[in-house]
């Protein structure tokens, strides 16, 4: 059997840099070394690219960039290279790559930017393409498209930094408090506020603008959040067992997501069979509407009166060994190493997207 050269991208110029380090270290640890030679490419918080050859522990504790093995390296958009370029002084060396796993969360990685580079390079890569990564990243655009596809979404108001915030706040107030204020393109709950009055709403808008120039203000959905791990492409992608976030506090903020101090993830979700079926059907429509391929985690709310309301799609969900996406897959009989095999196979089989 020939060994495939798999490049794993980690870090990235994003507020979710630290989350990516945890996800990528797990991905690297779970790649079967009898099948794959792993090429690690780290991107610092400042956006500098290095090839790294140390342990995954040094990635987890964010010391990888001090490691002696680091050499400047980057993915080339040139199809004649179809791999990475490493620089040592004034010399360069190219290394060909069979597939790329971009384990990057948030801006400059999960938002179509890196996917664009990968499409130019012609190298197969796992996950969604440029367009679907970009539209899934933008909560305002994603919910507009999903609503047009007939799935319910939270009523919302979108405002750009150059616009009149107070007018937008006035418009949003008509939806009724509490309101969620979110940077349109962010993740891990960074910059999100739940506002109960006008002062908190204005403060929330200011806070959200420090993360993104576009802000979405959403009506609160009463109910609980569920997730669908979707794998594959085409008419019938595989959807694993649904999970549920059981919240004790206000909302699933950054601290709760990564500590689970008061909340817990229930797998399987406590849903009646009929509702679970509707959740899966909605996830499939959302995945298709946003043009997803490879994988995505589709998040929805199930309201107290049994309605399904779209929340968001994560095209590169958390990928640690205890993260929701790998857990849902494991629960449905796909182990972490098998998941990696499938994702790589799919990427290589779907190479024609890099036309």
**Binding of residue 177 to ligand ADP (CB under 6 A):** no
Applying CB under 6 A, among 56, 113, 130, 311 the residue interacting with ligand ADP is 311
Q: Residue 77: which of 112, 136, 118, 47 has the closest Cα?
A: 118
Q: Which stretch binds ligand ADP (CB under 6 A): 17-25, 97-105, 180-188, 201-209?
A: 180-188
If the CB atoms of residues 159 and 347 are measured against ligand ADP, the closer one turns out to be 159
Shortest Å distance, C-beta 244 to ligand ADP: 12
Q: Which stretch binds ligand ADP (CB under 6 A): 140-148, 215-223, 315-323, 346-354?
A: 215-223
Residue nearest to ligand ADP (CB): 252
If the CB atoms of residues 218 and 241 are measured against ligand ADP, the closer one turns out to be 218
For 56-68, letters b (16+ CB in 10 Å) and e give bebbbebebbeee
Residue 238 to residue 252: CA distance in whole angstroms:
26
**Binding of residue 188 to ligand ADP (CB under 6 A):** yes
Shortest Å distance, C-beta 283 to ligand ADP: 15
Q: Is residue 297 within 8 Å of 305, Cβ to Cβ?
A: no
Q: Which stretch binds ligand ADP (CB under 6 A): 29-37, 48-56, 77-85, 186-194?
A: 186-194
**Binding of residue 134 to ligand ADP (CB under 6 A):** no
Catalytic residue among 136, 314, 323, 327: 314
For 298-332, letters b (16+ CB in 10 Å) and e give bbbbbeeeeebbbbbbbbbbbbbeebbbbbbbbeb
**Binding of residue 225 to ligand ADP (CB under 6 A):** yes
Site string for ligand ADP, 143-162 (x = CB under 6 A): -----------x--------
If the CB atoms of residues 177 and 251 are measured against ligand ADP, the closer one turns out to be 251
**Binding of residue 189 to ligand ADP (CB under 6 A):** yes
Number of residues that bind ligand ADP (CB under 6 A): 17
CA angle 250, 256, 260 (to 5 degrees): 120
Residue 263 to residue 58: CA distance in whole angstroms:
29
Q: Is residue 10 within 8 Å of 40, Cβ to Cβ?
A: yes
Q: Is residue 138 within 8 Å of 41, Cβ to Cβ?
A: no
**Binding of residue 218 to ligand ADP (CB under 6 A):** yes
Residue 259 to residue 129: CA distance in whole angstroms:
31
Residue 314 a catalytic site member = yes
Q: What are phi and psi of 217, to 5 degrees?
A: -110, 120
Residue 312 a catalytic site member = yes
- Neighbouring C-alpha atoms within 13 Å toward the C-beta of 259: 7
Q: What are phi and psi of 24, to 5 degrees?
A: -65, -40
Catalytic residue among 86, 212, 299, 327: 299
Q: Residue 140: which of 99, 180, 80 has the closest Cα?
A: 180
Left, alpha or beta for 140 (phi > 0: left; psi -120 to 50: alpha)? alpha
Residue 92 a catalytic site member = no
Site string for ligand ADP, 237-256 (x = CB under 6 A): --------------xx----
What would you measure as the largest C-alpha separation in the chain, in angstroms?
65
Catalytic residue among 11, 12, 16, 110: 16
**Binding of residue 16 to ligand ADP (CB under 6 A):** no
Q: Is residue 41 within 8 Å of 52, Cβ to Cβ?
A: yes
Shortest Å distance, C-beta 266 to ligand ADP: 14
End-to-end CA distance of the chain: 27
Interface contacts to ligand ADP, rule CB under 6 A: 154, 180, 182, 186-189, 192, 218, 220-221, 225, 251-252, 299, 311-312
Residues serving a catalytic function are 16, 188, 258, 297, 299, 312, 314, 318
């Amino acid at each position: 059997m020939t060994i495939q050269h798999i490049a794993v991208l980690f870090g990235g110029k994003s507020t979710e840099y630290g989350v990516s380090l945890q996800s990528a270290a797990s991905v690297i640890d779970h790649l079967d070394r009898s099948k794959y030679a792993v090429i690690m490419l780290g991107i610092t918080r400042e956006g500098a690219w290095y090839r790294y050859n140390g342990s995954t522990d040094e990635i987890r504790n964010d010391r990888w960039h001090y490691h002696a093995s680091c050499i400047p390296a980057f993915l080339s958009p040139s199809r004649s290279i179809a791999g990475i370029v490493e620089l040592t002084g004034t010399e360069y060396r190219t290394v060909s790559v069979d597939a790329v796993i971009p384990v990057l969360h948030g801006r400059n990685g999960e938002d179509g930017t890196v996917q664009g580079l990968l499409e130019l390079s012609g190298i197969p890569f796992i996950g969604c393409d440029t367009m679907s990564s970009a539209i899934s990243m933008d909560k305002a655009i994603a919910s507009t498209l999903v609503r047009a596809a007939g799935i319910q979404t939270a009523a919302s108001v979108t405002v750009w930094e150059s616009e009149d915030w107070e007018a937008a706040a006035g418009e949003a107030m008509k939806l009724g408090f509490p309101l969620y204020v979110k940077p349109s393109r962010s993740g891990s709950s960074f910059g999100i506020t739940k506002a109960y009055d006008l002062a908190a709403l204005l403060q929330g808008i200011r806070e959200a603008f420090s993360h993104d120039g576009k802000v979405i203000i959403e009506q609160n959905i009463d109910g609980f959040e569920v997730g669908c791990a979707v794998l594959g492409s085409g008419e019938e992608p595989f959807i694993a067992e649904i999970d549920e976030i059981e919240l004790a506090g206000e909302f699933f903020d950054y601290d709760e997501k990564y500590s689970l101090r008061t909340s817990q993830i229930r797998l399987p979700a406590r849903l009646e069979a009929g509702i679970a079926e509707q959740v899966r059907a909605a996830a499939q429509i959302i995945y298709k509407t946003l043009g997803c391929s490879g994988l995505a985690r589709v998040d929805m709310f199930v309201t107290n009166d049994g309605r399904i309301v779209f929340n968001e799609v994560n095209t590169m969900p958390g990928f640690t060994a205890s993260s929701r996406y790998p857990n849902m897959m494991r629960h449905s009989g796909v182990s972490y190493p098998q998941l990696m095999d499938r994702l790589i196979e799919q990427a290589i089989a779907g190479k024609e997207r890099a036309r």
